[in-house]
Amino acid sequence: MLEPRFSAVGEAFEQIIGKGHDRGAALCVYHRGVPVVDIWAGTADIKTRRPWDADTIAPITGATKGLLAIAVLLLLQDGTLSLDTPVAECWPEFAAEGKRDITVRWLLSHRAGIPALDKPISSRVLIAGDSPADALAAQPPAWQPGTAHGYHPSTGAWILQELVRRVSGRTIGEVLSGVAGKDVFVGLGEGEAGRLAPLIFPIVELMRARPKEPEFAEFSKAVFASKTLLARSLNTLSMSRTDQFNDPAFLAVGEPSMSGVAGASGLARLYASLIGEVDGHRLIDPDLLDAAVHEESHGHDHVLLVNTRFGLGFMLPGGPLWPGETRTQFGHGGTSGSLAFADPAHDLAFAYVPNRMSGYIEGADANARRLTAAVYEALP
């Protein structure tokens, strides 16, 4: 599906796939509650040469945090969670090492001060069914909680997962399962692996593609220095091999920070249902959504070392990672090159899901930027 007024979006998408910038991908855009772009092209699996089709899904890495935010909003909406209740009230052990006052709000806005663990957690531990809860409870904060912000690549999501388990008896994936549809997973379902487009890891290209813009100078130095908070944060989840994101066993665990799997159409539809009715149903109360997309954190990020903005679980435009087209966008990107967001001011929802891993961290992928710019240029 491609409405004529979005023809330039289709042309940009064809160029990205045709020139090999992404080997396969899907793009979906909702406008005013209905899909106006729903396209896919390229190769889903380069080993088998299976083409990308309407049922293809792919790992979305850090864009999973957008799904985490939606799950937490659902629990805030039904009263299971409260934004300003300290985590330690439901999880007493978490109060250790000065963490007694950390709230759901601070976790969602990356202000908890626990972006890394002193001892990384192996993905094999998670696959085996072991929890990082004890390590999280014992970890001292890197800064006084609530006084600054810094991106939590894994730990914030893990703390929220444990809290959700304690208050509801469910995982993040189980909270989402009733609303996410058949193409969005935090915990890949049995029998779904055959639909998966494995991520491609061009390691040499990734190293060369590190951001060159002046705003990324501190980031580029710190990411390769093993003792920096940035490097420690990125390595807190230790992968046993480089293609772990393609392992159905890891994807099935439902790790809530980066194991999400989705198709673009399902992801765009989910975001569209946050800002308005889709087929007669709106997912989140407008007042709660307004609170979720209100700026909670902004300015220098203590982990990423660039300027960032966050609402409650969602990235907000601002800074070099996601300059954005408008200040009213909210969503999340991932190092897979995926990006999903909504923009209530334009009644727009967008999702791009490729299979070539990006050279940029969450949200700064050049292909996603090109496509979002084309979408906004096509709007009336």
164-220 pLDDT, tens digit each: 999 999 999 999 998 998 999 999 998 999 999 999 986 555 555 566 778 888 887
Residue 293 confidence (pLDDT) above 60: yes
Amino acid at 24: G
- Confidence (pLDDT) at 242: 63
Residue 253: pLDDT band by 50, 70, 90 thresholds? Answer: very high
- The answer for residues whose C-beta is within 8 angstroms of residue 105's C-beta and 6 or more apart is 83, 84, 111, 296, 312
Contacts of 88 (CB under 8 A, 6+ apart): 94, 95, 99, 100, 101, 102
Task: Name the region of 162 (left: φ>0; alpha: ψ -120 to 50; beta: rest).
Answer: alpha
Cα separation, 159 vs 152, whole angstroms? 11
Q: Is 172 left (phi over 0), alpha (psi -120 to 50) or beta?
A: alpha
Calpha distance 231→223 (Å, rounded): 5
- Tens digit of pLDDT for each residue in 114-127? 999 999 999 999 99
Structural domains of the chain, with CATH: 4-378 (3.40.710.10)
pTM: 0.96
* Interval 145-168: pLDDT, tens: 999 999 999 999 999 999 999 999
Q: Under a CB-based contact definition with an 8 Å cutoff, are residues 154 and 257 in contact?
A: yes
What number is the average pLDDT over the span 5-25?
92
In whole angstroms, give the CA distance from residue 165 to residue 72. 12
For 274-285, what is each residue's pLDDT tens digit? 999 999 999 999
Q: What is the mean pLDDT of residues 245-268?
A: 96
Q: What pLDDT, on the 0 to 100 scale, is given for residue 202?
A: 64
In angstroms, the CA 197 to CA 13 distance is 18
- What residues contact residue 337 under an 8 Å CB cut-off, 6+ apart? 22, 352, 354, 356, 357, 358, 365, 367, 368
CA–CA distances in Å: residue 156 to residues 29, 85, 109, 324 = 29, 16, 9, 24
Average pLDDT on 14-29 reads: 90
pLDDT tier at 295 (50, 70, 90 boundaries)?
very high
- Lookup result for tokens 């990672």: 321
CA distance 248 to 188: 7
What mean pLDDT is predicted for residues 326-351? Answer: 96
Which among 53, 60, 20, 49 has a CA at the least distance from the CA of 246? 60
Per-residue pLDDT, 358:
75
Would the pLDDT of 224 be above 70?
yes
The helix or strand, by DSSP H or E, that contains position 342, with its residue range, turns out to be strand 339-343
Mean pLDDT of 255-273: 97
Comparing 83 with 238, the larger pLDDT belongs to 83
Q: What is the arithmetic mean of pLDDT over 69-74?
A: 98
- pLDDT tens per residue across span 57-71: 999 999 999 999 999
Query: Phi and psi (nearest 5°) for 217?
Result: -60, -50
Instruction: Calculate the alpha carbon distances from 231 to 92, 237, 374 in Å.
Output: 29, 11, 34
**260, 266 in Cβ contact below 8 A?**
no
DSSP strands (E only) in 79-232: 121-122, 184-185
| Res 359: pLDDT | 62
Highest mean pLDDT among 145-149, 225-229, 366-370: 145-149
Cβ atoms of 62 and 335 closer than 8 Å:
yes
- Angle of the 64-77 helix axis to the 155-168 helix axis, nearest 10: 30
Q: Look at 238 and 54; give whichever has higher pLDDT.
A: 54
Of 35-39, 225-229, 239-243, the range with the lowest mean pLDDT is 239-243
Contact 23, 337 (CB under 8 A): no
